[in-house]
Structure 1
Amino acid sequence: MKAVILAGGKSSRMGQDKASMVLGEKYVIQHVIDNLSSVFEEVFISGNHTDYPNSKGIITDITIQKGPMGGIHSALEFCREDIFVCSCDMPFVSSGLIQDFLQKKVENKINVVRHGEKIYPVLGIYPLAVLGTLEETIKNENLRMTSFLQQQNAHYIDYDDGFETQLLNINTPENFRAAEIIINKNL
Structure 2
Amino acid sequence: MTTTSHHHKHPELVRPEQGNFHRNELGILGTNCGQINSLVTALMAELSPLYKVGYVDADHRSSAADDDQLLINGCSGYLMDHISHRSFDTRQVIEPFSSRAMLVHQDLVLVNGNHFAANAQIVVIDPAKSLEAKLDKLTNVRLILLTERAEGIPQYLSDHLPVGHSVSVPKISDVLSIASFIQKYLEERLTPIKGLVLAGGKSTRMKEDKGSIEYFGKSQRVHVYEMLNKHCAGTYVSYDDIASIDDNESIPVITDSFLGLGPLGGILSAMRTDPNSAWLTVACDLPFLSAETLEYLVAHRDTSKVATCFMDSNGKFPEPLITIWEPRAYAVLLQFLAQGYACPRKALINTDVAILQAPDVSEFANINNPEERQMAMQRLHPDS
The verdict on a shared fold, with TM-score over 0.5 as the criterion, is yes
Please name the residue that 2:273 is paired with. Answer: 78
Q: Deviations over 1:85-135 (max 9, x none)?
A: 101112332221111111222113211111323532110101111212212
- Shift, 1:185, TM fit: 3.2
Please name the residue that 1:176 is paired with. Answer: 373
Give the RMSD, CA atoms, in angstroms: 2.1
Please name the residue that 1:35 is paired with. Answer: 227
Q: Is the counterpart of residue 66 in structure 1 residue 223 in structure 2?
A: no
TM-score (norm. length: structure 2): 0.45
Q: What letter matches 1:122 in structure 2?
A: L
Q: What letter matches 2:228 in structure 1?
A: L
TM-score (norm. length: structure 1): 0.87
- Shift, 1:19, TM fit: 0.4
Q: What letter matches 1:3 in structure 2?
A: G
Task: Give the share of equivalent positions with the same residue, in percent.
Answer: 24
**Bigger CA drift: 70-79 or 134-143?**
134-143
Find 1:104's aligned residue among 272, 286, 300.
Answer: 300
Asked if 2 retains the 8 angstrom alpha-carbon contact of 1:18 and 1:28, the reply is yes
Secondary structure of 1:9's aligned partner: coil
- Shift, 1:31, TM fit: 1.8
- Shift, 1:186, TM fit: 7.8
Secondary structure of 2:382's aligned partner: helix
Secondary structure of 2:319's aligned partner: strand
Asked if 2 retains the 8 angstrom alpha-carbon contact of 1:14 and 1:173, the reply is yes
- Shift, 1:183, TM fit: 2.4
Please name the residue that 1:167 is paired with. Answer: 364
Please name the residue that 1:26 is paired with. Answer: 218
What pairs with 1:99-138 in structure 2 (closer than 5 Å)? 99-109=295-305, 110-114=307-311, 115=313, 116-117=315-316, 119-138=318-337
Please name the residue that 1:7 is paired with. Answer: 199
Q: Which consecutive unaligned segments of at least 5 residues does structure 2 have?
A: 1-192
Q: What letter matches 1:145 in structure 2?
A: P
Larger RCO, structure (CA 8 Å, separation 6 or more): 1
Q: What letter matches 1:34 in structure 2?
A: E
- Shift, 1:163, TM fit: 4.3
Displaced runs of 4 or more, over 3 A: none
Asked if 2 retains the 8 angstrom alpha-carbon contact of 1:33 and 1:43, the reply is yes
